[in-house]
Amino acid sequence: MRTSIVLALLVALALPASAQRGARSNTDGLFLQIALDAQGLRYDGETFDDEDEGSGASVRVGYGISPGFTLYGGLAGSRIESERGGEYALGAGELGARFNFNEGRRLRPYFDVALRGVVARDDDLDFELSGGELALGGGVAYFLSPTVAIDASLKLGGGEFEEVQFGRLAVDLDDEDLRFGEARVSVGLTTYPFRERNRRHRWR
């Protein structure tokens, strides 16, 4: 996770201040995003209190309803190293909203809010936890052209696992029996594939 945090900071610092005065960007319409993620997880249960770390990748598809507001959905997958030893898979599906700022500039900060369904699975033990979380965060997109941007973000989330499954046996968990928190750093690439580049744009 530390490597991705450093990479995200370097990307942000490398963006020239003059980009604030650059040519127009556009967050309207359909977009596709792919990102590399690093995350830390903290579990808080009556008999289970761990801090785990891992990395993975995510994809998102969204639509900019206006320059300032975007709706999106996404899928993410990671391999997590357990504090107790071994690894397990963490998968998530999300529905979110993004609020974009600095309209028309190359450098576009944004704020995100998303609802995520989360599944943690250990195939060796045939063991699975499933639940949901609310995630909040922010980031910055830098437009290399009117159709392509690089992106770095930090998101924080928290939720509860609601069901545990051993093999074919599934058991509902009591309220707040196993809560978790998550910190996630992402660095990725966003493209607007069906937008024709306006050749009259003059990138400064």
User: For the segment 8-17, what is each residue's pLDDT rounded down to a tens digit?
Assistant: 444 444 444 3
pLDDT in tens, 129-148: 889 999 999 999 999 988 89
Q: Where are the domains of the chain?
A: 2-14+25-191
pLDDT value of position 7: 46
- Residue 123 predicted with pLDDT over 90: no
Q: Look at residue 123 and give its three-state secondary structure.
A: coil
Q: What is the pLDDT of residue 50?
A: 79
CA-to-CA distance for 88 and 31, rounded, in angstroms?
Answer: 31
Whether the CB-CB separation of 147 and 195 falls below 8 Å is answered with: yes
State residue 68 phi and psi, 5-degree precision: -100, -5
As its CATH architecture, domain 2-14+25-191 has Beta Barrel (2.40)
Yes or no: say if 71 and 37 are a contact pair by the CB < 8 Å rule. Answer: no
22-62 pLDDT per residue, tens: 445 778 889 999 999 999 999 886 666 778 899 999 999 99
| Distance between CA atoms of residues 69 and 61, nearest Å | 14
pLDDT at 196: 62
